[in-house]
Amino acid sequence: MTDMTEAFGAREGDGIVRCDACPVLCRIRPGKSGACDRYANVEGNLVRVDPVVLLQKADHAVAFMGAEWSGNPVRPENVFVTGIGAGTTYPDYKPAPFIVSSKVEGVDLITVVTEGIFSYCGVKVKIDTDRYVGPEQAAVRAAGEQVGHVTTAEYGSQMLAIGGVRHLTGGSKKEGTVTCDTMLALCNGEAVTLTVDGGSEIIVKAAAAPVIDGIEETRMRVGCGSATIGMFAKQWQSHVDEVIVVDDHITGVLTEHQAGRVLNMKPAGIRVRGRRSTPGRYFQVANPGSGWGGTDVTDPRDIIKKIDADTAWPGLRLLMVSTTGDHAIWLELDENLVPREKPMPEPVRRVVERIGENCEPALCSVLFMGGAGGSLRAGVTENPVNLTRSVRQALTRVTCGGAPVYVWPGGGITFMVDVSRLPKHAFGYVPTPALVAPIEFTMRREDYAALGGHMSYVRDAAELRALANKRMDAAVGDNPWPLAAKA
């Protein structure tokens, strides 16, 4: 069996090989590699530089770089060939580089493996923080070029949309190149520095804490101010007269809140700024920022609008705290009902610490999102719409580098994958520019034949031993096994 990772490249004069693995069609001189560094001219032959990555159900990773495997036979149910290093279907009429059969739990399976060239793709970034990173729709830049924008914030997180075809190909050449480089780095787990117009500088790395304006985030908020009140009201009850939880979303006031009322807490007469939503829940107490609870507040007393002399009393005990517990101050009203800072009682401090304990670690999450287009699907079947229908009918399982994906409803095969669940350096690029991502389609043999698959190109998984350039990795983390009956 020949190495299925070789491209169809054509030999030209002076030992030059033309690579047709993507539309750039590099002319590669002997001993050199193409623009993407994925293919090289070795003694007049076009070869793939990177190894094909196979996953094995094991507790540790073993590398096979150009060496034959040991004498142990390949057990198809324990080995899965990924699209990483597999090659592409360009110029779009040829079958996928790997169409592999295996038998698992008595079922004959086919896995069709390729690297997709995605110009219609993007990266969704979730940043666990209350800090204000910039206004929605603000441009997000890398190396001065716009590569995306700020999108709608979610519970305890700021969200960025990076990439997309209009940044890759709809702007200047530099914008497209920088966008491609940024997405590639993010998808391969590297740290990227981004700036937001009218906002912050953010260092983003998948599965790592965000660094915002030089400050590393450690905690994702336990909840909004109202939720924090509800969670800890009973623990505060006998130790405080009032609690105000400062939050950019909903600031909570304990004695006005339903939790305080159910606990029969006495009204404290302290009114906060902003627009009251429902009792004890206030919007817009301050502007967004990097201070208390994601506001621009540095002294929480600034959000106190009024202290009612008919209700409040000297000695009233007031706790003001943020939604992460990072900020907290203990105040007592003097004889003029002015809040004065005092040492925080130990029982109250323990509850503040419990807020922090209940905050999850702040992380950056990076999801690659792409649409599997017609050319990619043509590598699976001569009638590409049949593959889409098979995915919709749950007859075909889609994976990305062996990792589970979420396939969006609606037309096409548009999927998202958590890049931290893929093997290292799973993504590549072509200088069109576009990202290269692994993708695999697994189904029963009879279903593959029914959708018009390239049956004459099916190879048995045992033949993977003949690959000259391969790497065996352990299955990643808690990913479901792609060949399992139920994943």
What is the predicted pLDDT for the residue at 48?
Answer: 85
Q: Are strands 470-474 and 52-56 parallel, antiparallel or unpaired?
A: parallel
What is the predicted pLDDT for the residue at 456?
Answer: 95
C-alpha 123/C-alpha 194 separation (Å) is 13
C-alpha distance from residue 451 to each of 61, 383, 396 (Å): 35, 7, 11
C-alpha distance from residue 441 to each of 4, 19, 97 (Å): 17, 26, 13
Sequence spans of domains, the chain: 10-119+373-474, 121-220, 225-357
Per-residue tens of pLDDT for the chain, all 487 residues: 334 444 457 788 888 999 888 888 999 999 999 988 888 998 888 888 889 999 998 644 444 434 444 544 446 678 999 999 998 888 888 899 999 999 998 899 999 999 999 999 999 999 999 999 999 999 999 999 999 999 999 989 999 999 999 999 999 999 999 999 999 999 999 999 999 999 999 999 999 999 999 999 999 999 999 999 999 999 999 999 999 999 999 999 999 999 999 999 999 999 999 999 999 999 999 999 999 999 999 999 999 999 999 999 999 999 999 999 999 999 999 999 999 999 999 999 999 999 999 999 999 999 999 999 877 899 999 999 999 999 999 999 999 999 999 999 999 999 999 999 999 999 999 999 999 999 999 999 999 999 999 999 999 988 887 888 899 899 998 999 999 876 5
What is the predicted pLDDT for the residue at 58?
Answer: 60
What is the predicted pLDDT for the residue at 14?
Answer: 85
Letter string b/e over residues 199-230, b meaning 16 or more CB atoms within 10 A of that residue's CB: bbebbbbbebbbbbeeeebebbbbbbbbbbbb
Give the position of tokens 């000695």: 315
pTM above 0.95, yes or no: no
